[in-house]
Structure 1
Amino acid sequence: MVLVDRDQKDVKMLEDGDREMATMIECLSADGTCIHSNVIFKANRQDHSWGANNPGNASISLSPKGWTDQELGFKWLQRDFDPVTWAKLKSDDEY
């Protein structure tokens, strides 16, 4: 597995094989809190094995080209970002 910046021109292969690129939506707050990432695969149907090795508990989305768009970004905000940030805001208010 290799993570590269989308503007990076030189990408090295670590192993032979036919691989597809995937897009990730990630968020890290100023206090170091990580919010679940969202991995976007190029597909029309989800292969359930994609979530089998998921140590970061990333949510999985699909798109025809494997890229994010407004709809997928909005779903990530609703499904992953809002619940975590609202819970953090409420816990911070207790102090």
Structure 2
Amino acid sequence: MMYCQKSDSLELVTVIDCVCMDGTAEIPPCFVFKGVGSSQSGWRSMTTFCIIATSDNGWTDDEYGFEWFRQCFIPHVQK
């Protein structure tokens, strides 16, 4: 049995992340919220913990995935 909660006040958020099986790679996730922006201007902040981005619908696309891969994944796996 599946449980699904719905409400008009909820907003979906997309998360791009990666998990290392042995827990040694600390690769920051990207949270994509609905808001005005595109993949170039939508990247709001990058901390050591996460990236906050916005898109018109709150979903990710190829460009967001590539930017996360380039800015987060590649630098952390090269360490």
TM-score by length of 1: 0.60
Letter in 2 for 1:64: D
1:64 aligns with 2:56: yes
The structure where helix makes up a greater share of residues is 1
Match of 2:4 among 1, 11, 29: 11
Letter in 1 for 2:56: P
Match of 1:81 among 64, 70, 73: 73
Instruction: Measure the CA separation in 2 of the matches of 1:71 and 1:80.
Output: 14
Percent identity of paired positions between Structure 1 and Structure 2: 30
**Larger-gyration structure (1/2):** 1
Match of 2:14 among 23, 38, 42: 23
Letter in 1 for 2:17: E
Q: Which range is displaced more, 37-46 or 62-71?
A: 37-46
| CA positional deviation for 1:76 | 0.2
TM-score by length of 2: 0.71
| CA positional deviation for 1:72 | 0.2
